[in-house]
Amino acid sequence: MSSTNQGADFVVVANRLPVDLERLEDGTERWRHSPGGLVTALEPFLRSRHGAWVGWPGVADSDVAAFEEEGIMLHPVALSATDVRDYYEGFSNATLWPLYHDVVAPPVFERTWWDSYVKVNRRFADATAAIAAHGATVWVQDYQLQLVPAMLRDQRPDLRIGFFLHIPFPPVELFMQLPWRTEIIRGLLGADLVGFHLAGGAQNFLWLARRLVGLEPTRAAVGVRTRPGSVQFGNRRVRVGAFPISIDAGGIDALSRRKDVVNRAKQLRGDLGDPKQVLLGVDRLDYTKGIDVRLRALYELLVEGRVDPADVVMIQLATPSRERVEHYRQMRGSIEGQVGRINGEFGRVGYPVVHYLHQSVNREELVGFFSAADVMVVTPVRDGMNLVCKEYVASRHDLGGVLVLSEFAGAAAELTSALLVNPHDLDGVKNALLKALTMDPAEGHRRMRALRRQVLTHDVDRWARSFLAALNPTDQSDIPY
């Protein structure tokens, strides 16, 4: 796959470019690499194929020409401040996000937001149609762009179009609440392959294609990676499958072995006062992540005397997220209040029980945190996959550490040797934390060895190759195995 004068043969279409445009205080602008999981997953794979990426540069009302960055042609799509408010903060993140995450917060069904979503999706489709070579492969990403496959198909029937959803796909009963449910399903049916993390999401989609569009899907159960279902839509057969996303496991494993990272992990424990046990949470600050659940569990264990605050320290990294949305501001205040309560009641001068950092950290620093932590706590009430838990496992070449993982993270289907918990069951979370803190090292090593086998084998390259193999089943010449 290469980029030619006639257009790009391989195009990724995502809400954001793999670089962000920053406006500095002096009015100048600069580009910086985005830290998101999607970028981490796709950038190396795309670069090796000299492809193109269509996305928003991250700043409203910015009209930027296409440019090349490290072997990838980047094609910015401009969004106005109104587009950002209505399409992105509105329909994408106040309608679809809560609806797809089991209505953890009530979704808002605002008609003007939907109109903006349609308009912006068309803009992305137009930009992609203009740069894709004849017969190109186009891979559309995530919930912000669910109408793009059909819009692109209308303009460019010659293209091979894949779509992948990076968040959960909801149960049928919840999806049916959406006033524009049929339009979304028809939009996705424009793709040749629609991919989800889990087989359950694929099955839900096939059921909805029958219920809302009157199509007849295959009856066999959808399998992971190799057994997609399908549905006939006009003169095309749309395949629907499960492709659990992963990480650059080898890269993180190598990073964790570097001397400076090993030393940083030791320094972190020293900075914490060399406690007997370190708990770690790493999350984007979002109501789906269950940060409050683990803080409540730790608080009750301290109150009950089952955990000694002199022995156990927790680090919670909370990456800033959607700071302009009122719901997120309230959530941040609530979490910081919980942290203050724990430290106020159980901390000592110079020795807080919970170290809370509302900031982003770079990759090397993050792997240092993973290497320093005895217990990784991942308790989302709903999550598409959750790559943080896989990054933790990839960092533990020493076979140390215990993973406490929510059953409602997509990764739980693969990481079965973790201590799996129901985040709605507070006593269950407390008992799992206590078991993790007191686990026999031999059992911990056995569990971590099994987790690492899974994560290192099923890495991000395998995810991308398996999806593209299913998207182009008759043309494997440019997909290395």
Q: 272-301: buried (b, 16+ CB within 10 Å) or exposed (e) per residue?
A: beebebbbbbbbbbbbbbbbbbbbbbbbbb
358 catalytic residue (yes or no): no
Tell me how far apart the alpha carbons of residues 420 and 379 are, in angstroms, rounded to a whole number: 9
End-to-end Cα spacing for the chain: 15
Catalytic one among 101, 166, 197, 458?
A: 166
74 contacts 53 by C-beta, under 8 angstroms = yes
CA torsion through residues 230, 233, 237, 238, sign:
negative
Could you confirm whether 166 is annotated as catalytic?
Answer: yes
CA distance 269 to 290: 25
Measure the CA–CA gap between 410 and 416, rounded to whole angstroms.
11
Distance CA 252, CA 255 (A): 5
Structure tokens at 218: 């295959």
CB–CB of 448/393 below 8 Å? yes
Confirm if 213 and 206 have CB atoms less than 8 A apart: no
In 349-444, at which residue ranges do the beta strands (DSSP E only) sit? 354-357, 375-378, 402-406, 419-421
Q: Give catalytic residue positions.
A: 166, 383
